[in-house]
Amino acid sequence: MIDLLGGVRVLAVSQFGAGPFGTLHLADLGADVIKIENRATGGDVARTVPPYAIQGDSLYFQSFNRNKRSLTLDLKHPDGQRVLHDLVHVSDAVFSNLRGDQPKKLGLTYEQLQEINPRVVCCSLTGFGLTGPLSGEPAYDYLLQAYAGWMSLTGDPSTPPAKSGLSLVDFSAGAVAMVGLLAGLLHVRRDGRGCDVDVSLLDTAISMLNYVAIWTLNRDYRPQRLPDSAHPSLYPAQVFRTSDGYVVICCFKEKFWRALTVALDAPELAWDPRFASFTTRYEHRDALIADLKQRFLARTTAAWLKRLRGNVPCAPVNSVSEALADAQVLARDMIMELEHPEFGTLREVRTAIKVGGAANHRRPAPALGADTEAILREVLGYSDQEISDLRQAGVV
């Protein structure tokens, strides 16, 4: 079996979703992710997020922290810094997910740690970055969807701006941070020295404006919310109501438009010069969409999928339960089971990376401080007396 990141040790000072989602990928791929938590504050606040929370744990916390180890450590205590430095000496990376003014205050930057381990990579995932006038401000996914302009693009134009139903800034920033961290490790492999990696929620969200940004920055383009979740430039590509639900179609190539006219039994649409190309369909989109809406009402979602699949890119608008039970999702082995001492058998979604022959790690997220003694004893070689002294001082 392949343990892709076996032997890689990452110290993670992070909570809630963005950072833990990123390091979840490393843990699932075999890295030893040591989650550093402060017992005085109850550890990662995700442990208390409802619903389905128990004392010191929750299903929310479990979703982000499987296959990791928990070490309680007070980084503000001088002896806590000593323990941190001992860990850095035998680790490959330090990852933090804090306000931009915190990594330096807690001694988590490469400048502060390079003398202890010149090969360590220090990755900071913050709300607004390590620099700039807002670097010290707290930030969360919801705020960044508003701040970066996403909400101005989301939702029906007749309703207030809306956020995504998922924490997409958090998830995307966590994934981007892991790309940066792994790039840093490759840099170490090549040049022998570590570095700082600076990723922020805001930078990630702004970078994901992508084609909307280039249109806005270079032409007189004014992004706006569109009815029926329509694509801003390619038609038809949107939600259509059927006789019993909804279906999404995406005619992102001319051949798909032609195939759609066949599925609709509507050769007149194919012949209509108003709908002959991307450009003319865009110019006459109101007439086109009005016509298509009436046609899609004639059949059920299942009937349309039967006609469209294999010819026109399409999808039903599933509920979450329907999506998780989908045959393709199950065929891809995206649902895993693991045993938890309190919650019993937990079914969770896997991370999306699949490596042939990779080891399948299935440890539940750890209880607060569950691995403290093992890490101090086995990783650092501390004696019983040293561990007792640290406990007595409230450091661990």
Active site residues: 170
The set of long-range contacts for 330-339, using a CB threshold of 8 Å and a minimum separation of 24, is 336/360, 336/362, 337/362, 338/66, 338/362, 338/363, 338/364, 339/364
Coil vs helix vs strand at 116: coil
Nearest to 196 by CA among 96, 274, 295: 96
CA distance 396 to 36: 10
Burial class (CB in 10 A: 0-12, 13-18, 19+), 273: exposed
Q: Are 344 and 59 in contact (CB under 8 A)?
A: no
Residue 12: enclosing H or E segment and its boundaries? strand 9-13
Coil vs helix vs strand at 156: coil
Mention every residue, 6+ apart, whose C-beta is less than 8 A from residue 353: 25, 28, 29
CA distance 26 to 7: 11
Q: The tokens 């004696």 sit on which residue?
A: 383
Coil vs helix vs strand at 173: helix
* Residue 284 main-chain phi, psi, to 5 deg: -115, 30
Kind of pairing, strands 246-250 and 237-241? antiparallel
Burial class (CB in 10 A: 0-12, 13-18, 19+), 194: buried
Q: The tokens 């700039």 sit on which residue?
A: 132
Residue 59: enclosing H or E segment and its boundaries? helix 59-65
Residue 97: enclosing H or E segment and its boundaries? none
Residue 209 CB coordination number (10 Å): 17
- 258-to-262, 274, 291 alpha-carbon distances in Å: 7, 14, 16
CA distance 309 to 330: 19
